[in-house]
Every structure is written in structure tokens, then in C-alpha cells.
């Protein structure tokens, strides 16, 4: 692109701006693309803490709110409004980052002639059958799919008729300079005091759904406490399952050993005060919680769900255990609790991996390359992969 060539106008499309991995990644991506593209932003819900971050870089999102049900006539109206806005702004490509925005962006883009890129960030474990079928349909009608984990790419290629050249894996990225600056700050709220000989295990996840398996982790941690009285567990996150989990902790008599820290904006500073990271989910995409924990230099114990093993690599930057394998999860946590040398070695490798492979610069470069590839391609209809002959 020469100095006089106009920058292509693109739009990032988010559900909302609440604190979360998807939202934070999209804001960082938009900021990094500003030099090469004329970036605009749209949203379904004009709310959330990240909204100010968008405005701070000169992006003032246009809202297209939906009703409680996608079957409402409002959905069709917002598709038409989005198409009209895309055409009016001269936007040539829209990138939808989640389930609901994908369902709106594809028909709107097709109406106005814009290209459309979708992100697939999980293994569809949140969606029911009807939602999965709808997402697969709009994926086939899109121009390109970006998966944030190879595990997601494998599932799409196995279960959907998307051709291989229409999908790209781009791992999530992290702005290490910003992360390190936040990690060095004071905490926003107090935490339980940590003794010199105490070891803190950190678990960062919402408490909205049993897929995060905090109850399993609490049970496993209770097995370790007799041998490791110095061990502590910090549960960072919140949601409707928290009261049930608090009751479980109380019944086990572990209220002084397990702390519920709630939803926090100072996660990097919290992680810097911990010694081991754990994520025992039953399903994942590519976990930003793992990436941030590794950026903090924590050795990880994770389940083999989604892209977890792509990040951790068993016995290199931590341990990977099968889903729901309680005994092996306990054994791997015990190995790290019992060896300062092992914690240091794996934690150092984890940090180096993030520095080498997961910097925000790589995320931006790879997305920009996909956008240019999509814009350079001739338009086509449904991008079907030919079924294999029996």
C-alpha cells in the first residue's frame, strides 16, 4: 500500500464491551490495525468497562441492539440497519467476533456487498443444536473463518463443509508491556495475607457454568491439604454458581485455605502474587486465563480441553491431564507444590513461550494478512468443501 492509497475501511463487531477475553482482544486488535486500516466499530449492546477503552483510541461504536429472542422482527430490522450503515460508511469488510454478531453480520454483509470474517472461539459447547446449526449456516456463507485454536480448526474441518483455505488459526495475543505494567501495580482490593512459606494456586474463570469445574478443583485441593498445609487456592471470578461453591468449601472446612476473590480488574497483579496456575475446564477454546497466567511466569496444570494443550505442552510449561481426571490432577499439582525448582523451570518456559509466540503484534499482523487476503479474493457464494468419496 502506497502513501496515497486509501486505507480499506473495516469494522470490528462485538456483542458488548464487558470485561472478558474476547472484548479485550478485539479492542487491542482494533488499536493495532489503525495504521493500516480505517477501523470502525459496531456492537449489539453499547455497555461494559471496555467501552471507554474503545473511545480512548477514537472509536465510537454504533449500536444495533437485539431483542431477547432472535425470532423477534427486531433482528431483521437490525440486519437491515447494519447493512445500511456498512454501505453508508463505505466499509468493505466486517469482522464478527462472537455467536450473535456472526448471525447478524453475515446477512447484513451479503445485503450490502461487504466481505465478512467470523471468529470461532470455542467448540460450540455453549450452544444448543439449533444455535449450532445456525452458526454453521452463516459460517458457510462467510468469506473466512478465524479459529483461535487448532482444536477448533480440526472440529470445523471434521464437522462442517468449510474448505481448508477458508479457515485460519490465529492464537490469542497479549500486550506484554501493558500486562507487565498492570502486574507491577498495587492490588485494587485486599486479598488474604500470604505467609513466606505459603504457596498460592490461582484459578481464573467465571462461575456461570459447571464447565469450568471449580467444584472438582475444590475437591482435589481438599485431598492435598493434609500433606501441604502451606497451600492456598484463590478462585478469581464470579457468577451464579459462587454460593454453591462457597457452601462446598465451608462443608469441607477449607474457608481459611480457599479464597473467593470475585471478579477483578487487577488479575495481572494477583497472578504475580501466586505460584501455580490451574484450569480444569471440561471445554475451552483458547483460554486467555492460561495465557495471562503463563505471562505471569506461572507453571500450569490444565485439562486437555480445546486449545489448552497447545499453550501448555505437557511436561514443558506445565502439565496437561485428561478431563475429569481427579487423581492425575492432584498428582500434578502435588508435583509442583513439592518442587520449587520444577515451578521455576516450567514458569520460565511459560513466560518465554508467551513472549515468543503470543505477543499482540503477531495477532495484529496475522489478522491484517487475513483481511488483505479476503479483500483480494474474488467474491464467491457458499464456500463448500467437496465431500470425500465413499
What's the pLDDT tens digit per position in 32-70?
A: 999 999 999 999 999 998 899 999 999 999 999 999 888
- The SS3 assignment for 147 reads strand
Residue 384 has a pLDDT of: 40
The mean pLDDT of 68-86, rounded to a whole number, is: 95
- Is the Cβ–Cβ distance between 40 and 59 less than 8 Å? yes
The residue assigned the cell 515468543 is: 356
Report DSSP state, residue 332.
H
Asked which of 76-80, 82-86, 178-182, 386-390 is least confident by mean pLDDT, the reply is 386-390
Residue 125 has a pLDDT of: 81
- The SS3 assignment for 14 reads strand
Residue 380 has a pLDDT of: 55
Which residues are registered as beta bridge partners of 192? none
Asked which of 3-7, 87-91, 292-296, 301-305 is least confident by mean pLDDT, the reply is 3-7
pLDDT in tens, 224-252: 999 999 999 999 999 999 999 999 999 99
- Is the Cβ–Cβ distance between 181 and 269 less than 8 Å? no
pLDDT at residue 3 is higher than 80: no
Domains and CATH numbers, the chain: 9-173+359-376 (3.40.50.2000), 179-357 (3.40.50.2000)
Contacts of 159 (CB under 8 A, 6+ apart): 136
Residue 161 has a pLDDT of: 87
Residue 138 has a pLDDT of: 96
Residue 383 has a pLDDT of: 42
Chain-centroid distance, C-alpha 86: 27
pLDDT in tens, 169-196: 999 999 999 999 999 999 999 999 999 9
Residue 88 has a pLDDT of: 97
Contacts of 330 (CB under 8 A, 6+ apart): 220, 223, 224
pLDDT at residue 137 is higher than 50: yes
The closest of 68, 66, 86 to 76, measured between CA atoms, is: 66
Residue 315 has a pLDDT of: 97
Determine the straight-line distance between the first and last CA of the chain, rounded to whole angstroms.
46
pLDDT at residue 107 is higher than 60: yes
Residue 1 has a pLDDT of: 52
CA distance 16 to 63: 9
Q: Using N-to-C axis directions, what is the helix angle for 326-337 and 214-224, rounded to 10°?
A: 50
Per the document, the length of the chain is 390
Neighbours of 390 (CB within 10 A): 3
pLDDT in tens, 302-351: 999 999 999 999 999 999 999 999 999 999 999 999 999 999 999 999 99
Please give the mean pLDDT across all residues of the chain: 93
Residue 390 has a pLDDT of: 39
pLDDT in tens, 256-309: 999 999 999 899 999 999 999 999 999 998 999 999 999 999 999 999 999 999
pLDDT in tens, 366-386: 999 999 999 999 875 444 444
pLDDT at residue 124 is higher than 80: yes
Amino acid at each position: 500500500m502506497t502513501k496515497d492509497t486509501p486505507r480499506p475501511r473495516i469494522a470490528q463487531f462485538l456483542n458488548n464491551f464487558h470485561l472478558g477475553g474476547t472484548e479485550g482482544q478485539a479492542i487491542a486488535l482494533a488499536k493495532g490495525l489503525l495504521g493500516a486500516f480505517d477501523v470502525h466499530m459496531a456492537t449489539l449492546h453499547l455497555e461494559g468497562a471496555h467501552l471507554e477503552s474503545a473511545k480512548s483510541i477514537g472509536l465510537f461504536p454504533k449500536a444495533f441492539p437485539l431483542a431477547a429472542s432472535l425470532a423477534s422482527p427486531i433482528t431483521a430490522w437490525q440486519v437491515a440497519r447494519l447493512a445500511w450503515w456498512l454501505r453508508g460508511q463505505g466499509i468493505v469488510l466486517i469482522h464478527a467476533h462472537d455467536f450473535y454478531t456472526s448471525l447478524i453480520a453475515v446477512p447484513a454483509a451479503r445485503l450490502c456487498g461487504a466481505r465478512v470474517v467470523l471468529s470461532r472461539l470455542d467448540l460450540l459447547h455453549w450452544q444448543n443444536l439449533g444455535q449450532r446449526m445456525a452458526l454453521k449456516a452463516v459460517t458457510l456463507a462467510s468469506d473466512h473463518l478465524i479459529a483461535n485454536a487448532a482444536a477448533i480448526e480440526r472440529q470445523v474441518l471434521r464437522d462442517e463443509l468449510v474448505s481448508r483455505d477458508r479457515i485460519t488459526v490465529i492464537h490469542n495475543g497479549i500486550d506484554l508491556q501493558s500486562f507487565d505494567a498492570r502486574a507491577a501495580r498495587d492490588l485494587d482490593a485486599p486479598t488474604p495475607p500470604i505467609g513466606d512459606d505459603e504457596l498460592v494456586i490461582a484459578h481464573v474463570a467465571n462461575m456461570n457454568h459447571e464447565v469450568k469445574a471449580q467444584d472438582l478443583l475444590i475437591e482435589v485441593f481438599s485431598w492435598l491439604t493434609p500433606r501441604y498445609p502451606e497451600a492456598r487456592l484463590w478462585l478469581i471470578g464470579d457468577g451464579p454458581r459462587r454460593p454453591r461453591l462457597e457452601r462446598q468449601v465451608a462443608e469441607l472446612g477449607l474457608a481459611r485455605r480457599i479464597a473467593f476473590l470475585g471478579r477483578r480488574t487487577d488479575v495481572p497483579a494477583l497472578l504475580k502474587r501466586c505460584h501455580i496456575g490451574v484450569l480444569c475446564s471440561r471445554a475451552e477454546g483458547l483460554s486467555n486465563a492460561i495465557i495471562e497466567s503463563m505471562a505471569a511466569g506461572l507453571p500450569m496444570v490444565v485439562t486437555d480441553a480445546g486449545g489448552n494443550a497447545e499453550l501448555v505442552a505437557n511436561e514443558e510449561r506445565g502439565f496437561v491431564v485428561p478431563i475429569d481426571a481427579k487423581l492425575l490432577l492432584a498428582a500434578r499439582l502435588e508435583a509442583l507444590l513439592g518442587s520449587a525448582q520444577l515451578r521455576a523451570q516450567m514458569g520460565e518456559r511459560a513466560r518465554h513461550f508467551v513472549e515468543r509466540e503470543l505477543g499482540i503484534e503477531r495477532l495484529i499482523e496475522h489478522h491484517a494478512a487475513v483481511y488483505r487476503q479476503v479483500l483480494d479474493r474474488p467474491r464467491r457464494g457458499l464456500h463448500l468443501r467437496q465431500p470425500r468419496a465413499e
